[in-house]
Structure 1
Amino acid sequence: MSQSSELHLTIIHGGKGGDGGEVTGQGQGGHGGVGQGPTVNFNYGDKEEQRQKIIDWLSPINFFLRQADISREREKGTGGWLLAHPLFKNWESSSGSTLWCRGIPGAGKTVLASMVVDHLSAAFRNNKDIGVACIYLNHKEADQQTPPKLLAGLWRQLVLDQDIGSIAGGLYKQHREKGTVPSLEEVVNLLSSSLKEFSQVFIIVDAIDEYPEFQREILLQKLAEQMHLCLSVNLMVTSRPHVPPGHTLPNVETLDIGAIPEDIEKFVDAQIDSSSRLSRHVQRQPKLREDIHSKISSKSVDGM
């Protein structure tokens, strides 16, 4: 249980009255002495604990953790080309648009997605009117990553440091007591209520190709509906080339992702520097680093 702040409020009663007074100090006797009654604790932590309980129950998938893990693994300085790309800049500065990023396995799509999340979160850290949320899909977790849970995962990120609203509390009370779970439409309504609180929202969905096709259509359809309802929602999706954007998403621009030589070199350098054995060889033979760069780059036309 989390620690909570408490206010200790002491209830003061009159002390013993003077001659002719009553023991309670309420009579007409002399001045009552100073008395002290019981202490009552008002626990301000209860509200926050209840809020967190509702969030955890409505949204069992926590993408904050996945985002943090990928960010730690990302090599510093890689991916800058994407942030500087005209299509990305146009997407970032527009409203109601979709950026569909496609690339073969190993092209670094997931790493780039996490970089975009970090970039946007940092850029708008001090602007509470702009929200950033992400989804990381994994074919091994398809059974757990149902469309309602994924959309609830977006809602969870958007209500960080925000009021969760009455809809969330109502769903919790309605379903928790019965042992049921919210329907897809109930979760969509919950997410929609949160999206309306922002002037702009960026949603990043990684590896849509790893999601089963029938669920993929549902997820993209519901996101498209929200984009049409809330014109301030921008969507970025990463995928392998064989998955098309479809016809429901608005204002789609397609960006091909491939392994960039500069990023490959930074990745290789990090691997060399982290290995004491390789580092010793490179120190003795400085040209070896260039040879490794050339060899790996020649084999990494589109993917790492």
Structure 2
Amino acid sequence: MGDPFGISVNIGGLVQLADLVVNKIWPFLKEMKNQRSEISKLSSESIASQINLKADVKAVKEELFRRKELEARIELDEKRKKVLDFFGRVGPKENHAMSLKLRHEGTGLWLLKESRFNGWLQNCDSHIWFYGIPGAGKTILASLLIEKVFQLCKPSEAVAFFYCDYKDTAKQDPCYILASIASQIAIQHEKACEILEEEHKKIHPGTTDVKHLKPEILVSLLKKQFGLFDFTTLIIDGLDECGDNTAN
């Protein structure tokens, strides 16, 4: 039978050795673990930083694209504004604003109930002519009609108007009248605006004023624009103040 104490001693020595190894190595293992944790943390932070950097770069690119797109739109809008101003340099806004200001509440409402007015409003290729002595209030009625037609206008329809004025020779010129109508129609449909821009390219810079154009050119332009809509309503006030040639 062997010596159990010898075995015990050997086992005890191994335990001591193991304790020694653990005591000596453990700090290194702990340090390695800490470093590994630190490396993992740094790695995560690095990945997060890269993701954030990519996000920042993407955001910068998107912002640059947005600005370029905005600049292009502004430039396009400026070009279009020049075209619209070229054709609409003589417009009806001031006359319309003044007529609305002069109209008393309730004035002309009888007209909206007239069967002839409603028949004109609802039927294509129909015409209605209002006549009366000077100062009878036809211009005030015209402003009422314009407002009413705009209220009833559908997206597939167009409306344009003009006030001829015996006190302003430009507002008696057929070319200015037709050009103003074309400019108004252009802002109601993208394609109508493109048609106007194409016409502008043909005549500009050779022609500096629409009054130098032939009325037939503007009539042809308007026909192209009108073809884009189901229905186009025109209201012209004071044609009798412009002479027979303009009225025709």
Shared fold (TM-score greater than 0.5)?
A: yes
2:163 is matched with which residue?
A: 136
1:252-271 mapped onto 2 (5 Å cutoff): none
The answer to whether the aligner puts 1:159 opposite 2:147 as a matched pair is: no
Q: Distance in 2 between matches of 1:197 and 1:129?
A: 8
Opposite residue 115 of structure 2, the aligned amino acid is P
2:196 is matched with which residue?
A: 168
1:1-304 mapped onto 2 (5 Å cutoff): 41-42=67-68, 43=71, 44-124=73-153, 127-143=154-170, 145-163=172-190, 164-180=192-208, 181-217=212-248
Opposite residue 188 of structure 1, the aligned amino acid is V
Question: For residues 143 and 133 of structure 1, do their structure 2 counterparts lie closer, same or farther at Cα, with a shift above 3 Å needed?
Answer: closer
2:38 is matched with which residue?
A: none
Opposite residue 179 of structure 2, the aligned amino acid is A
Question: For residues 140 and 174 of structure 1, do their structure 2 counterparts lie closer, same or farther at Cα, with a shift above 3 Å needed?
Answer: same
Q: Distance in 1 between matches of 2:159 and 2:197?
A: 23
Q: Deviations over 1:45-102 (max 9, x none)?
A: 1111111111111221222332222112211111011111121121112111111111
Q: Distance in 2 between matches of 1:168 and 1:200?
A: 19
1:238 is matched with which residue?
A: none
Q: Which structure has greater helix proportion?
A: 2
Q: Distance in 2 between matches of 1:152 and 1:177?
A: 16
Structure 1: gaps (5+ residues): 1-30, 218-304
Question: For residues 66 and 75 of structure 1, do their structure 2 counterparts lie closer, same or farther at Cα, with a shift above 3 Å needed?
Answer: same
1:271 is matched with which residue?
A: none
Q: Deviations over 1:165-195 (max 9, x none)?
A: 4432233223322245543222112111111
Q: CA deviation at 1:196?
A: 0.9
Note if contact 1:134-1:205 (Cα within 8 Å) is conserved in structure 2. yes
Note if contact 2:163-2:237 (Cα within 8 Å) is conserved in structure 1. yes
Opposite residue 94 of structure 2, the aligned amino acid is L
Q: Distance in 2 between matches of 1:196 and 1:171?
A: 16
Q: Distance in 1 between matches of 2:207 and 2:236?
A: 30
Q: Distance in 2 between matches of 1:128 and 1:64?
A: 22
Question: For residues 90 and 55 of structure 1, do their structure 2 counterparts lie closer, same or farther at Cα, with a shift above 3 Å needed?
Answer: same
Note if contact 2:165-2:171 (Cα within 8 Å) is conserved in structure 1. no
Q: Secondary structure at 1:99's aligned position in 2?
A: coil
Q: Deviations over 1:111-138 (max 9, x none)?
A: 00110000111122xx211112112111
Opposite residue 98 of structure 2, the aligned amino acid is D
Q: CA deviation at 1:144?
A: 5.0
Note if contact 1:54-1:168 (Cα within 8 Å) is conserved in structure 2. yes
Q: CA deviation at 1:142?
A: 2.7
Identity %: 26
Q: CA deviation at 1:151?
A: 0.8
Question: For residues 137 and 94 of structure 1, do their structure 2 counterparts lie closer, same or farther at Cα, with a shift above 3 Å needed?
Answer: same
Q: CA deviation at 1:159?
A: 2.1
The alignment yields a C-alpha RMSD, in angstroms, of 2.4
Provide TM-score, normalisation by structure 2.
0.66
Q: Secondary structure at 1:72's aligned position in 2?
A: helix
Question: For residues 87 and 152 of structure 1, do their structure 2 counterparts lie closer, same or farther at Cα, with a shift above 3 Å needed?
Answer: same
Note if contact 2:164-2:242 (Cα within 8 Å) is conserved in structure 1. yes
Note if contact 1:142-1:212 (Cα within 8 Å) is conserved in structure 2. no
